[in-house]
Amino acid sequence: MTDENEPAVRAAIDGEMRLLDPEVRASPARVLELLDPEFTEIGASGRRWDAESILTVTSGGSVSPESPVEVSEMSGVVLSPGIVHLTYFADNQGRRAWRSSLWRLTETGWRMYFHQGTLTS
Protein backbone atom coordinates (compact mmCIF):
# COMPACT_ATOMS: atom_id res chain seq x y z
CA MET A 1 0.00 0.00 0.00
CA THR A 2 1.48 3.35 -0.99
CA ASP A 3 1.31 6.26 1.40
CA GLU A 4 -1.17 8.10 -0.83
CA ASN A 5 -3.56 5.11 -0.69
CA GLU A 6 -3.30 4.59 3.05
CA PRO A 7 -6.14 7.01 4.07
CA ALA A 8 -8.59 5.33 1.68
CA VAL A 9 -7.75 1.83 2.91
CA ARG A 10 -7.91 2.96 6.54
CA ALA A 11 -11.33 4.56 5.95
CA ALA A 12 -12.64 1.32 4.41
CA ILE A 13 -11.25 -0.77 7.27
CA ASP A 14 -12.82 1.61 9.78
CA GLY A 15 -16.19 1.27 8.05
CA GLU A 16 -15.89 -2.52 7.91
CA MET A 17 -15.10 -2.72 11.61
CA ARG A 18 -18.02 -0.44 12.47
CA LEU A 19 -20.35 -2.74 10.52
CA LEU A 20 -19.12 -5.61 12.70
CA ASP A 21 -19.71 -3.65 15.92
CA PRO A 22 -22.78 -5.00 17.77
CA GLU A 23 -23.84 -1.47 18.78
CA VAL A 24 -23.77 -0.23 15.18
CA ARG A 25 -25.50 -3.37 13.90
CA ALA A 26 -28.35 -2.83 16.37
CA SER A 27 -29.15 0.52 14.71
CA PRO A 28 -30.62 0.25 11.18
CA ALA A 29 -29.93 3.96 10.63
CA ARG A 30 -26.23 3.55 11.47
CA VAL A 31 -25.93 0.49 9.25
CA LEU A 32 -27.57 2.28 6.32
CA GLU A 33 -25.10 5.18 6.73
CA LEU A 34 -22.33 2.68 5.90
CA LEU A 35 -24.03 0.87 3.02
CA ASP A 36 -24.11 2.19 -0.51
CA PRO A 37 -27.67 2.60 -1.86
CA GLU A 38 -26.70 0.03 -4.52
CA PHE A 39 -25.26 -2.41 -1.94
CA THR A 40 -25.44 -6.13 -2.63
CA GLU A 41 -24.06 -9.10 -0.75
CA ILE A 42 -23.63 -12.74 -1.51
CA GLY A 43 -23.63 -14.20 1.96
CA ALA A 44 -21.72 -17.22 3.18
CA SER A 45 -25.09 -19.02 3.05
CA GLY A 46 -25.29 -18.35 -0.69
CA ARG A 47 -28.20 -15.97 -0.21
CA ARG A 48 -28.22 -12.63 -2.03
CA TRP A 49 -28.95 -9.51 0.03
CA ASP A 50 -29.56 -5.82 -0.63
CA ALA A 51 -29.35 -2.86 1.75
CA GLU A 52 -32.90 -3.25 3.07
CA SER A 53 -32.86 -7.03 3.50
CA ILE A 54 -29.49 -7.09 5.26
CA LEU A 55 -31.02 -5.06 8.11
CA THR A 56 -32.87 -8.18 9.28
CA VAL A 57 -29.53 -9.85 9.88
CA THR A 58 -27.63 -6.92 11.35
CA SER A 59 -30.40 -5.96 13.79
CA GLY A 60 -31.18 -9.58 14.67
CA GLY A 61 -28.43 -9.91 17.24
CA SER A 62 -26.19 -12.22 15.20
CA VAL A 63 -23.24 -10.41 16.79
CA SER A 64 -23.33 -9.57 20.48
CA PRO A 65 -20.99 -7.60 22.74
CA GLU A 66 -20.36 -10.84 24.66
CA SER A 67 -19.18 -12.65 21.53
CA PRO A 68 -17.86 -10.16 18.96
CA VAL A 69 -16.67 -11.25 15.55
CA GLU A 70 -12.97 -12.05 15.63
CA VAL A 71 -11.22 -10.50 12.63
CA SER A 72 -7.76 -11.38 11.36
CA GLU A 73 -5.64 -10.99 8.23
CA MET A 74 -7.37 -7.74 7.25
CA SER A 75 -5.83 -6.18 4.17
CA GLY A 76 -6.89 -3.66 1.61
CA VAL A 77 -5.91 -2.29 -1.75
CA VAL A 78 -7.05 0.73 -3.75
CA LEU A 79 -8.34 -0.61 -7.08
CA SER A 80 -8.89 2.87 -8.51
CA PRO A 81 -9.47 6.32 -7.02
CA GLY A 82 -12.52 6.01 -4.75
CA ILE A 83 -12.66 2.17 -4.77
CA VAL A 84 -11.08 -0.01 -2.06
CA HIS A 85 -11.10 -3.82 -1.89
CA LEU A 86 -10.80 -5.41 1.55
CA THR A 87 -10.24 -9.05 2.44
CA TYR A 88 -10.14 -10.64 5.86
CA PHE A 89 -10.90 -13.73 7.90
CA ALA A 90 -13.83 -13.62 10.33
CA ASP A 91 -14.82 -16.01 13.10
CA ASN A 92 -18.33 -15.46 14.47
CA GLN A 93 -18.85 -17.95 17.29
CA GLY A 94 -17.14 -20.74 15.35
CA ARG A 95 -18.68 -19.83 11.99
CA ARG A 96 -15.50 -19.11 10.06
CA ALA A 97 -15.44 -17.33 6.70
CA TRP A 98 -13.20 -15.47 4.33
CA ARG A 99 -14.77 -12.09 3.63
CA SER A 100 -14.34 -9.64 0.77
CA SER A 101 -15.77 -6.12 0.48
CA LEU A 102 -15.72 -3.33 -2.04
CA TRP A 103 -15.94 0.17 -0.60
CA ARG A 104 -16.86 3.19 -2.72
CA LEU A 105 -16.27 6.85 -1.90
CA THR A 106 -19.54 8.80 -2.23
CA GLU A 107 -20.58 12.38 -1.51
CA THR A 108 -21.40 11.27 2.04
CA GLY A 109 -18.21 9.28 2.63
CA TRP A 110 -17.01 5.71 2.27
CA ARG A 111 -19.78 3.14 1.86
CA MET A 112 -19.78 -0.60 1.35
CA TYR A 113 -20.85 -1.35 -2.22
CA PHE A 114 -20.44 -5.16 -2.28
CA HIS A 115 -19.68 -7.90 0.23
CA GLN A 116 -19.15 -11.65 -0.05
CA GLY A 117 -18.47 -14.34 2.48
CA THR A 118 -17.18 -17.87 1.87
CA LEU A 119 -17.37 -20.40 4.66
CA THR A 120 -14.23 -22.33 5.53
CA SER A 121 -13.37 -25.10 7.95
- pTM value is 0.89
In whole angstroms, give the CA distance from residue 62 to residue 56: 10
In whole angstroms, give the CA distance from residue 34 to residue 36: 7
pLDDT of res. 116: 97
In whole angstroms, give the CA distance from residue 6 to residue 77: 9
Sign of CA dihedral 31, 35, 39, 44: negative
Q: What is the pLDDT along the chain (121 residues), one digit of tens a residue?
A: 557 789 999 999 999 999 999 899 889 999 999 999 999 999 888 899 999 888 887 777 666 667 788 999 999 999 999 999 999 999 988 889 999 999 999 999 999 999 999 999 7
Strand ranges (E), the chain: 35-42, 48-50, 70-80, 83-92, 95-106, 109-119
